């Protein structure tokens, strides 16, 4: 049985893929410009026309879809077709700007094909049964994977309408080869399987789990996945996740397990520096920017996802697929900062600081540029306030923090030790970073 769902498309030479991308990009931008008032205004303001797209690199001249643009486009600005042609609306609020993306019958079919590719690339085959734990609904599209499984000739075991706990009793009797779900859903399932059936019940016939559509605890990605694999007793494959405003089936990790393929016939993914907004070199961390090339009903062109990852495009992956690869999502752009040209993820710093037993884990980063050079001050809370009265202990802790921070940030930072509880508690990682330079950058 083939290890591809669509061999021709999945292993198309890079040059042909690129020309397919260019052709689709041109057509998409033309359609958006001619049929959406929102895009026409956006591009007129940006001083670009569809004719300016002559090669893939020219996409860099197009304005981004940022939060403000989504707000401007709402509700129907992204639509490209008459309303009667739509078969589904995928909407989301995202806490920020709401967005509505409309899908035609053609889009539904493409979505099913892409989800089918993901399932097969992950290692599932025709005739297999797949437990689909992904939520279906606005902003989530577990039903995309249902359709993908149907298309790939698999049997869908739908997510329980009853409690998972009840359904687990049925699972050994159904016998599934694979399960898809968010990392948290997989963790819950694993727990229940182990409790109810004992470790690695043979009756399950499970061969792999696919983690999609959910957040990994980013700083502990490898550890969490390894633990899950050990407990579940099967490989856990990672799928490209983005809840909005695109379809599912963006891509998946292949058996090489060194990156996630993005289906380049359907999506063009860029990796940009979140501050300069310019392309970063292959393999460097940047913000993923998505363009939905294969879209029929709605135009999503240069959507800034806020997700940080790396992007590489080898000639051919040993798995045989030619589509570019991204890393798993390393963090959020809002939770990063740039110092002396280097992008630093707060989560990376946090992970290292957490290894120092003298600290509470609470920290704050202040970045300034008093003259022409970046200056970083790192505030950390010590666990025992008495340490601050002991010169020797203070010196030792400060040195340890300073070395740790230099390894992550790239330059020597100013360390300020403060007593436990001195830093106000915050809810998001983004609030731990104060970038004093940003004020100076406003026009």
Measured from the CB atom, the residue of 173 and 315 that comes closer to a copy of itself is 173
CB of 423 to a copy of itself, least distance (A): 32
Task: Give me 103's structure tokens.
Answer: 């899908």
CB of 137 to a copy of itself, least distance (A): 4
CB of 342 to a copy of itself, least distance (A): 36
Measured from the CB atom, the residue of 166 and 222 that comes closer to a copy of itself is 166
Question: Strand order of the sheet with strand 267-272?
Answer: 267-272, 286-292, 303-309, 331-332
Q: CA-based Rg of the chain, rounded to a whole angstrom? A: 24
Within a 10 A sphere around the Cβ of 198, how many other Cβ atoms?
Answer: 8
Measured from the CB atom, the residue of 225 and 244 that comes closer to a copy of itself is 244
Q: Which of 132, 87, 90 is nearest to 106 (CA)?
A: 87
Measured from the CB atom, the residue of 103 and 330 that comes closer to a copy of itself is 103
Task: Give me 21's structure tokens.
Answer: 């991308």
Within a 10 A sphere around the Cβ of 284, how many other Cβ atoms?
Answer: 14
Beta bridge partners of 363: 380
Measured from the CB atom, the residue of 23 and 166 that comes closer to a copy of itself is 166
Please classify residue 75 by burial: count the beta carbons closer than 10 Å to its beta carbon, then call 0-12 exposed, 13-18 middle and 19+ buried.
exposed
CB of 98 to a copy of itself, least distance (A): 6
Q: Which residues contribute to the site for a copy of itself (CB under 8 A)? A: 74-76, 83-84, 86-93, 98, 100, 102, 105, 108, 126-127, 129, 135-143, 146, 149-150, 153-162, 166-167, 169-170, 173-174
CB of 146 to a copy of itself, least distance (A): 6
CB of 351 to a copy of itself, least distance (A): 30
Beta bridge partners of 211: 181, 238
CA dihedral for 25, 30, 36, 37, sign (positive or negative): positive
CB of 102 to a copy of itself, least distance (A): 8
Measured from the CB atom, the residue of 248 and 321 that comes closer to a copy of itself is 248
CB of 180 to a copy of itself, least distance (A): 14
Measured from the CB atom, the residue of 81 and 209 that comes closer to a copy of itself is 81
Q: Which of 435, 439, 391 is nearest to 417 (CA)?
A: 391
Q: Which of 108, 125, 142 is nearest to 176 (CA)?
A: 125
How many Å apart are CA 348 and CA 216, to the nearest integer? 14
Measured from the CB atom, the residue of 92 and 333 that comes closer to a copy of itself is 92
Cβ proximity of 104 and 110 under 8 Å: no
């Amino acid at each position: 049985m083939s290890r591809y769902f669509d061999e021709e498309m999945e292993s198309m030479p890079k040059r042909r893929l690129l020309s397919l991308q260019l052709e689709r990009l041109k057509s998409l931008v033309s359609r958006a410009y001619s049929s959406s008032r929102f895009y026409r205004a956006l591009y007129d303001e940006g001083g670009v026309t569809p004719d300016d797209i002559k090669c893939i690199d020219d996409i860099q001249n197009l304005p981004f879809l940022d939060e403000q643009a989504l707000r401007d486009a709402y509700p129907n600005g992204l639509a490209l077709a008459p309303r009667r042609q739509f078969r589904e609306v995928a909407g989301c609020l995202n806490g920020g700007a709401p967005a509505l993306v409309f899908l035609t019958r053609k889009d539904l079919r493409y979505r099913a094909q892409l989800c089918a590719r993901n399932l097969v690339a992950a290692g599932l085959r025709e005739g297999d049964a797949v437990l689909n734990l992904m939520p279906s609904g606005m902003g989530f599209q577990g039903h995309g994977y249902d359709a993908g499984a149907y298309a790939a000739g698999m049997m869908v075991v739908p997510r329980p309408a009853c409690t998972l706990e009840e359904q687990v009793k049925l699972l050994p009797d159904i016998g599934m080869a694979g399960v898809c779900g968010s990392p948290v859903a997989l963790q819950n399932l694993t727990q229940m399987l182990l409790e109810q059936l004992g470790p690695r019940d043979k009756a399950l016939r499970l061969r792999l789990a696919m983690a999609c559509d959910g957040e990994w605890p980013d700083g502990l990605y490898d550890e969490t996945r390894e633990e899950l694999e050990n407990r579940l007793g099967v490989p856990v494959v990672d799928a490209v996740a983005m809840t909005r405003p695109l379809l599912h089936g963006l891509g998946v990790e292949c058996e090489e397990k060194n990156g996630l393929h993005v289906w380049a016939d359907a999506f063009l993914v860029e990796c940009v520096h979140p501050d300069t907004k310019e392309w970063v070199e292959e393999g460097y961390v940047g913000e993923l920017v998505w363009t939905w090339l294969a879209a029929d009903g709605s135009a999503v062109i240069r959507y800034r996802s806020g997700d940080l990852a790396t992007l590489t495009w080898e000639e051919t992956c040993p798995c045989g697929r030619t589509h570019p690869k991204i890393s798993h999502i390393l963090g959020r752009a809002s939770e990063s900062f740039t110092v002396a040209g280097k992008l630093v993820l707060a989560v990376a710093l946090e992970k290292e600081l957490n290894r120092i037993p003298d600290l509470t884990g609470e920290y704050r980063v202040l970045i300034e540029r008093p003259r022409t050079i970046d200056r970083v001050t790192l505030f950390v809370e010590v666990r025992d306030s008495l340490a601050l009265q002991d010169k020797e202990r203070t010196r030792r802790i400060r040195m340890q923090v300073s070395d740790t921070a230099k390894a992550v940030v790239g330059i020597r930072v100013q360390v300020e030790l403060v007593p436990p509880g001195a830093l106000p508690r915050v809810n998001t990682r983004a609030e731990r970073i104060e970038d004093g330079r940003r004020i100076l950058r406003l026009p």
